[in-house]
Structure 1
């Protein structure tokens, strides 16, 4: 009897399909192969952190970069430096199955040389966002990751519908960070602005997030300036900016740190970003 049972068990094992490897191709064109969906993940980009959590898999995160601060649960996780310059030793010590990071990060090659799997993704345009969400859904084996993008689209559409006609058509300048770096029309921020009826002073050929000469803004003379409070001090002292219509008429929307995080992260909170931008346009452009 034992011999028969043993033979049956062996037959069942041999008949069971082999667990298929999981393969995901990142934004570098590198195909990352994993034996199964990762259980231990380090995320070094806030938008990727937020998407993992929105997909219901926050529990797989074992470490994040210093800027990942949403949802609140990730604040308890170990911090492993910046996304661009992570602490390699700290990342390796967490024994991740995979590390999620930006393509612009300098840590990918070093981590890979130490045997750590790296998936590099960096959404910059509106088309990038659902593509990256789909990749993360594939990695985490979460069905219908596109539900997040559908919710974002619905939220942006609702924000656009809430705007009065007088708030549409304003020529806007959105400063992302010091440099200054601006959000161009091809960026995910520029796409939301366009859907809200705003006109970007940055031209498409300048790229999604170009570094610009401040004189460019002076010549363009936007109707409205959108900027984070980290960069807003001293606008009038920038050469020629005191003469800008937006500065003279105080048509400037200044966003605090928490609001800026929402606005510059191409992730699940983009509908919230649209509502923030719509509020700015209604308050300042609709005067």
Structure 2
């Protein structure tokens, strides 16, 4: 009898791996027979979120741009956006693939779908969509996604509230050079700038990344131009605007933190907003 009791105790103590089901950002329902145990992430923001939620150990592969945290760089690379290697992904035997789908994602995702490999499309369009991704990833991995999601929401609302009542600054984000480019108001990074109490004069442009000309900048009269690039590159981008008769501050910001819908966007937004707020206060003192 003691052997029978021991067997029954082990059966009762063993975790029950129930099926899980969530809706992804494309509107499709992703169903797993149990929480994922082998995940391939094909998007840097997804990789960061999984590690931040304590699910990094479940990752078995990544895209080439998933470079944070440092532990992610030890994972096998299965290609980059637009050129994923379906065979390399299949060889890792994932029970879940998390990807940013889009018109330029390539054919690898279609191959994976035909083989029945579950794909969760994660495409946060704004900062406010990040907590939803956390909750979904929590369900898919059997981790607690609700607690970090609530914490993220609280911190983001605090940032928005801090700069909601001050004078609006006219700020142009620069996201490329040769040709110089900015973003319209529907891009992810635009929400970060808006939370800092700024206005992008190119927000209503139809193109997602409008070209940025000297004539357009002179007409817009921005109070700041922020190059989303690493410092050395940003300095080269901003150098072209120095001869213009503009009274605009020329700043830089990290594209990997501000432009990536992951957990680091909170600290990056706080830093950017604080820098812009100093500019706002300096402008007010000049007016007074």
TM-score (norm 1): 0.78
Answer yes or no: is the 8 Å Cα contact 2:41–2:59 preserved in 1. Answer: yes
Answer yes or no: is the 8 Å Cα contact 2:257–2:264 preserved in 1. Answer: yes
Relative distance call for 1:177 and 1:40 in structure 2 (3 A) is farther
C-alpha distance in structure 1 between counterparts of 2:156 and 2:123, whole Å: 22
- What's 2:75 paired with? 77
Query: Secondary structure, in 3 states, of the residue corresponding to 1:50?
Result: helix
C-alpha distance in structure 2 between counterparts of 1:244 and 1:48, whole Å: 42
C-alpha distance in structure 1 between counterparts of 2:183 and 2:146, whole Å: 26
Q: Does 1:26 align with 2:24?
A: yes
- What's 1:264 paired with? 259
Answer yes or no: is the 8 Å Cα contact 2:184–2:209 preserved in 1. Answer: no
Relative distance call for 1:127 and 1:279 in structure 2 (3 A) is closer
C-alpha distance in structure 2 between counterparts of 1:149 and 1:214, whole Å: 38
- CA RMSD across the alignment: 3.5
Q: Which runs of 5+ in 1 are unaligned?
A: none
User: Which string of whole-angstrom CA distances, capped at 9 and with x for unpartnered residues, describes residues 12-39 of structure 1?
Assistant: 99xxxx9643222222222222111110
C-alpha distance in structure 2 between counterparts of 1:181 and 1:273, whole Å: 21
Relative distance call for 1:64 and 1:177 in structure 2 (3 A) is farther
Answer yes or no: is the 8 Å Cα contact 1:47–1:266 preserved in 2. Answer: yes
User: Which string of whole-angstrom CA distances, capped at 9 and with x for unpartnered residues, describes residues 149-194 of structure 1?
Assistant: 533542662597499x6xx522101123456553444444333322
Query: Secondary structure, in 3 states, of the residue corresponding to 1:138?
Result: helix
Q: Which runs of 5+ in 2 are unaligned?
A: 283-288
TM-score (norm 2): 0.78
C-alpha distance in structure 1 between counterparts of 2:79 and 2:157, whole Å: 33
Relative distance call for 1:27 and 1:158 in structure 2 (3 A) is closer
- What's 1:37 paired with? 35
C-alpha distance in structure 2 between counterparts of 1:95 and 1:128, whole Å: 29
Relative distance call for 1:101 and 1:177 in structure 2 (3 A) is farther
Answer yes or no: is the 8 Å Cα contact 1:156–1:271 preserved in 2. Answer: no
Q: Does 1:57 align with 2:55?
A: yes
- What's 1:174 paired with? 173
Instruction: Give 1:277 deviation, angstroms.
Output: 0.6
Q: Does 1:252 align with 2:253?
A: no
User: Which string of whole-angstrom CA distances, capped at 9 and with x for unpartnered residues, describes residues 122-174 of structure 1?
Assistant: 112233222222221221122343533533542662597499x6xx5221011
Instruction: Give 1:242 deviation, angstroms.
Output: 3.8
Q: How many residues matched?
A: 267
- What's 1:121 paired with? 122
C-alpha distance in structure 2 between counterparts of 1:244 and 1:121, whole Å: 43
